[in-house]
């Protein structure tokens, strides 16, 4: 297969670097591959580069996906991640070139969301529809489903699985997705369970890092903001631990520091980590600055602690000025004031590209869980 990309001929951006395309293309297969690169100038100072890659899949086409549910980041090994990213790239081509597919025609997905969501819910629904499937949706199941009448999660799952082929669920309790999966006879995808995990966000985050930086081994990542309550950073830390020579910096207010279970897990996997109070120093060293918002909804009535934490670490032009030219700023969104709006114009602001990548990862997961490789 061949991939072509056109970028401004700017030597300071990772996307204009030939190594970026070569590294990314070589990561498409964990088995045999051959590749060659060509480049030629275009008008306006742009350069078109194409890499032709021949790959042999790690998992044979049509074989069953080895996971029955997607509940936590620990489920994935490097080979599976690489192959999921292959499928995500195929989904990207489907979305961009044909506008959709019919491979999931006849399948129904239920989205069961007990907490607010924009990107996750809509990207899952878009993913299902772009692959020919249909969607049954509950936007605020906590208030507008039988949960408001006292129905247990287990009873809700037993009922909903009778109407659909797969359930995507967000819940306010950590561990709820595991309970749902234990109950259901159809696939369950965890779209976030309280302060627990958000595995599909972590998948799209790692996919985005691969696309933006061109590698996953040997990178430095700064996790910034609400690390105690942020399920996205927890899941991302689990996935980053699967790669070699990764270093993770934790930058957060004292009241929302990363919990010990993640630190212990990283240490057990030989991953170097460091806590720092100096965002500028960390940003100058990192390939990825992963900013998160301080989550007011997790503080309950302790508004004093929320006010103590918010606004302490903000990514602005001063932070961009110390970042390396190839580095990127990521954010799971929504943002409040932790990234200033003027950062959006910088090519290193990757968070909206990151959100779009969520569509391709979720298309890939739906395809794999319902019809296999």
List per-residue pLDDT tens for the chain, 373 residues long.
444 433 343 333 343 343 333 333 333 333 433 334 444 555 455 445 444 444 455 666 778 898 999 999 999 999 999 999 999 999 999 998 877 799 999 999 999 998 878 889 999 999 999 999 999 987 665 554 555 556 899 999 999 999 999 999 999 899 999 999 999 999 999 999 887 888 999 999 999 999 999 999 999 999 998 898 788 899 999 999 999 999 999 998 888 889 999 999 999 999 999 999 999 999 999 999 999 988 666 556 677 766 666 768 899 999 999 999 999 999 998 888 899 999 999 999 999 999 999 999 999 999 999 999 8
Rounded Cα gap, residues 222 and 288, in angstroms: 6
- Given a contact cutoff of 8 angstroms between Cβ atoms, the answer to whether 343 and 329 are in contact is yes
pLDDT at 187: 98
Closest C-alpha among 124, 100, 129 to residue 113: 124
For residue 70, give the DSSP letter.
Answer: B
Residue 64 DSSP label: P
pTM: 0.81
Choice among 57, 119, 263, 285 that is catalytic: 119
Task: Match 């390396």 to its residue by tokens.
Answer: 324
Catalytic residue among 170, 171, 331, 348: 170
263 is catalytic: no
Which pLDDT value is given to residue 152?
92
- Torsion angle of C-alpha atoms 336, 342, 343, 346, degrees rounded to 10: 150
Which tokens go with 364?
A: 């890939």
Structure tokens at 184: 């259901």
Q: Is 149 a residue of the active site?
A: yes
Helices (H), the chain: 18-26, 78-93, 119-130, 141-144, 153-160, 176-183, 199-213, 231-240, 260-268, 279-285, 303-309, 317-322, 351-371
Query: Could you give the CA distance from residue 291 to residue 351 in angstroms, rounded to a whole number?
Result: 10
Where does 176-259 have alpha helices with state H?
A: 176-183, 199-213, 231-240
For residue 326, indicate whether it is catalytic: no
Integer CA distances (angstroms), 237 to 109, 145, 205, 223, 257, in order: 29, 34, 11, 9, 14
Q: What is the DSSP letter of 342?
A: G
**Among residues 133, 304, 289, which one has the least CA distance to residue 225?**
289
Answer whether 167's CB lies under 8 Å from 184's CB: yes
Choice among 30, 49, 80, 120 that is catalytic? 120
Determine the Cα–Cα distance for residues 1 and 206; give it in Å rounded to an integer: 23
313: tokens are 């670490």
Structure tokens, 176: 């709820």
Cβ atoms of residues 177 and 171 within 8 Å: yes
For residue 66, what pLDDT is reported? 87
């Amino acid at each position: 297969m061949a991939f072509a990309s056109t970028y401004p001929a700017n030597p300071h951006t990772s996307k204009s670097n030939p190594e970026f395309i070569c590294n990314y293309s070589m990561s498409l297969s964990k088995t045999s591959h051959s590749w060659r690169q060509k480049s030629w100038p275009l008008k306006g100072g742009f350069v078109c580069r194409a890499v032709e890659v021949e790959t042999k899949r790690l998992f044979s086409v049509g074989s069953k996906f080895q996971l029955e549910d997607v509940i936590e980041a620990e489920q994935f090994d490097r080979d599976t991640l690489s192959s999921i990213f292959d499928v995500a790239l195929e989904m990207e081509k489907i979305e961009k070139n044909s506008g959709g597919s019919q491979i999931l025609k006849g399948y129904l997905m239920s989205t069961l969301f007990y907490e607010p969501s924009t990107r996750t819910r809509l990207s899952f629904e878009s993913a299902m529809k772009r692959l020919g499937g249909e969607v049954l949706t509950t936007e605020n199941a906590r208030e507008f489903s039988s949960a408001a009448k006292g129905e247990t999660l287990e009873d809700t799952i037993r009922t909903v699985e009778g109407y659909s082929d797969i359930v995507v669920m967000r819940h306010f309790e950590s561990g709820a997705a595991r309970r749902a999966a234990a109950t259901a006879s159809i696939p369950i995808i965890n779209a976030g369970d309280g302060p627990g995990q958000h595995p599909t966000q972590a998948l799209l985050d790692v996919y985005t890092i691969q696309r933006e930086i061109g590698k996953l081994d040997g990178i430095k990542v700064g996790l910034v903001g609400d690390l105690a309550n942020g399920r996205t950073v927890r899941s991302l830390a689990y996935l980053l631990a699967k790669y070699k020579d990764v270093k993770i910096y934790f930058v957060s207010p004292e009241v929302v520091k990363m919990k010990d279970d993640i630190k212990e897990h990283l240490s057990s996997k030989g991953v170097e980590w460091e806590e720092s109070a100096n965002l500028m120093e960390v940003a100058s060293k990192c390939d990825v600055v992963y900013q998160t918002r301080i989550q007011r909804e997790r503080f309950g009535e302790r508004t004093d602690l929320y006010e103590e934490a918010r606004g302490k670490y903000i990514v602005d032009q001063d932070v961009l000025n110390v970042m390396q030219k190839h580095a990127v700023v990521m954010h799971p969104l929504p943002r409040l004031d932790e990234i200033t709006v003027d950062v959006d114009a910088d090519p290193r602001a990757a968070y909206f590209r990151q959100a779009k990548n969520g569509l391709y990862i979720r298309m890939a997961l739906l395809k794999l869980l319902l019809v296999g490789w």
